[in-house]
Structure 1
């Protein structure tokens, strides 16, 4: 039977180490593999293998291209396959700024599936640091946590992806007030993900996970987005509409939308681009808008069989005559956020009834401030 593999991610090294130590103690015969990427920009990586008693092996690696992808491809997966026959559980202790999705997909690949089975993706979080870090707009390079040369990602962006992709979250450190506040934050950002403490972790030797299904939980077309909620001062507001958005009016509202919320994401459509599902992703004032592919309503019905079942299900739940699965579905979270004002601002960005009645030929003539971003990414 394939050896179970659990990934432990997280920007907070002390919390991650505490979670890995607990897993080693709870699972006799387990081994933990860690790649220290502090020198990755120079093509140097140190790999460590340890068990509950301490370090068993270290190796200094030189990589042709200093990045996480080549570290995983050239060393991590071969190392896991090599260790699998003598391990009851393999624990991948990911470097601070590594996002777990790419590693999960590498473990759950055809070549490794006979030897390895992915059973859990945990993200460990420092309860004292989490509420502040999710609001921080610094780049990883500014805080000394890049995962590759030229890494331009932001700290809060990585933290959001780590906690939203995980199958379980692990809180460590801080006092009772810190833990209560962190649980409130997580209840908004990842409301259906179990939250554990580093001293009480779930078993990680169960059934295999499917990396494709994990991806569907966060991909824009199929994401399980949070619902309306309020916990003390933290508010999550959901906005939905069928009417298309005016590109110019939405662009003018972007700064207000992202600076007055901490986290927002979802899918939307612009007049002038009726065939394209657009993805909205913003955290700590940094916003990304990307083309997420075609709406199903824009595809010939014969092509639907080529689309994943989860995508067809999401489209069916959103389907409405006249619009198909085209929908505005955005979710905003922040302290003291005013849902009424946010929804009014977004409603003001929609086409008026007169504009909507003019139809696609008129919409195509609108100036589109998003075009330099979306058209560049489409042709890249």
Structure 2
């Protein structure tokens, strides 16, 4: 089968450096890239390149007014064509700037049918740009990076999902400065200028704390090709991002960067938490996890914040709220995670939020979160009384249907 590697990332120069390295190192490697910058005009431009430069190009129309949908529709036939041709030894799928790797990885993994196989997914990262990207609350549309007219994502949360999904991160080594206009699909190499200093330790520490389980490898590392073609499990990658079973960052403090993991067993008072949302969303460069509202005692809620933008989502019931027979349908990863954190009174219900940031005010975050929990008297009133508390989250979790 034709091996396929996906290279993602908002850091365009770092991403292109990874693609160029793979094209140079693997004979018969081909880079496939869909440029979504022309999507407002109704088309997506596709390019193919090898180690010598551009070999083919074409256009595909938008699907459902969505550039990412067009990418998905065009990607599989192109990979099939490369596989059937018999000359390609490695297909490198370079995703456009704001395309998130998970959806593309799952498409490739599901449609290989013995002709091609997803063997690696990576995000290319410039350590010096991690904090600026993670703190950027601009809409993608404002930055010229929207993948569809209705794309409402922001730069920070898009970058966070790109960064936290792959098991391998490739780091720009900081020894070259890219020349504007370098071909995205493996054209002329960027001119390089040697510098005497490597990445700032604080930048590397932030990257480490944001995704501590990832393997981080420089783009110049001799083992790069082996690291990116070692195999990839989409189910395991998805589980790592699911708030119910994710291995969230652990407590850390180094080079001015801090990770604070806050836990509690009693639920939040919905009105007090709602009032504190803005301050909590802006308290750290990145925060994520799961939480429990008193007036929704059976509902697992996700917390996902970056760049001051916060997304909360209903992920269905806690395991403790399910009948025993229904637990047989729950993925093994979630069962294992719940078993490790099971409480005899409330089961897997609880608060688990991780805050990662330079200059994090740990005491302030802890005090604010603690103040949002039910008081002793409120907790003692029990679930029936909790359900009657202020429903401040209804507009976020139960949007009105037009």
TM-score normalised by length of structure 2: 0.90
| Pairing 1:148–2:148 present | yes
| Pairing 1:217–2:218 present | no
Kept after mapping to 2: 8 A contact 1:72/1:106: no
CA-to-partner distance for each residue in 1:242-300, whole Å, 9 max, x for gaps? 11111111112212212121100000110011111000000011011110111011000
> Partner residue of 1:95?
96
User: Once the 2 structures are TM-superposed, how far is the Cα of residue 128 of structure 1 from its aligned partner?
Assistant: 3.0
> Partner residue of 1:72?
71
User: Once the 2 structures are TM-superposed, how far is the Cα of residue 12 of structure 1 from its aligned partner?
Assistant: 1.5
User: Once the 2 structures are TM-superposed, how far is the Cα of residue 16 of structure 1 from its aligned partner?
Assistant: 0.7
Aligned equivalents of 2:172 and 2:371: distance in 1? 43
> Partner residue of 1:347?
370
> Partner residue of 2:280?
257
* Structure 2 residue ranges without an equivalent (≥5): 175-194
Aligned equivalents of 2:230 and 2:220: distance in 1? 23
What CA RMSD, in Å, does the superposition of the two structures yield over aligned residues? 1.7
- Aligned residue for 1:161, secondary structure, equals helix
User: Once the 2 structures are TM-superposed, how far is the Cα of residue 124 of structure 1 from its aligned partner?
Assistant: 0.8
Aligned equivalents of 1:137 and 1:177: distance in 2? 28
In structure 2, do the counterparts of structure 1 residues 115 and 207 end up closer, same or farther at CA, with 3 Å as the change threshold? Answer: farther
The equivalent position to 2:297 in structure 1, one of 239, 261, 274, is: 274
| Pairing 1:303–2:326 present | yes
Kept after mapping to 1: 8 A contact 2:257/2:360: yes
Aligned equivalents of 1:209 and 1:13: distance in 2? 23
User: Once the 2 structures are TM-superposed, how far is the Cα of residue 195 of structure 1 from its aligned partner?
Assistant: 1.2
User: Once the 2 structures are TM-superposed, how far is the Cα of residue 340 of structure 1 from its aligned partner?
Assistant: 2.7
* Structure 1 residue ranges without an equivalent (≥5): none
User: Once the 2 structures are TM-superposed, how far is the Cα of residue 179 of structure 1 from its aligned partner?
Assistant: 4.5
CA-to-partner distance for each residue in 1:152-204, whole Å, 9 max, x for gaps? 11111111110000121122254635443331111110011111222222415
CA-to-partner distance for each residue in 1:44-85, whole Å, 9 max, x for gaps? 111111111111111122234342442233211110111023
Kept after mapping to 2: 8 A contact 1:258/1:285: yes
Aligned equivalents of 2:374 and 2:354: distance in 1? 20
More off after superposition, 36-45 vs 233-242: 36-45
In structure 2, do the counterparts of structure 1 residues 204 and 53 end up closer, same or farther at CA, with 3 Å as the change threshold? Answer: farther
| Pairing 1:244–2:243 present | no
Aligned equivalents of 1:49 and 1:161: distance in 2? 26
> Partner residue of 1:172?
172
| Pairing 1:369–2:368 present | no
- After TM superposition, the structure 1 = structure 2 runs for residues 1-150 of structure 1, keeping only pairs within 5 Å, are 2-84=1-83, 85-109=86-110, 111-150=111-150
In structure 2, do the counterparts of structure 1 residues 64 and 187 end up closer, same or farther at CA, with 3 Å as the change threshold? Answer: closer
TM-score normalised by length of structure 1: 0.95
CA-to-partner distance for each residue in 1:305-336, whole Å, 9 max, x for gaps? 11111111111112111101112000011221
Aligned equivalents of 2:149 and 2:133: distance in 1? 23
- Aligned residue for 2:313, secondary structure, equals strand
- Aligned residue for 1:169, secondary structure, equals strand
In structure 2, do the counterparts of structure 1 residues 255 and 321 end up closer, same or farther at CA, with 3 Å as the change threshold? Answer: same
| Stretches of 4+ aligned residues off by more than 4 angstroms | 204-207
Kept after mapping to 2: 8 A contact 1:44/1:66: no
- After TM superposition, the structure 1 = structure 2 runs for residues 287-366 of structure 1, keeping only pairs within 5 Å, are 287-366=310-389
Aligned equivalents of 1:68 and 1:316: distance in 2? 41
Aligned length: 377
> Partner residue of 1:184?
205
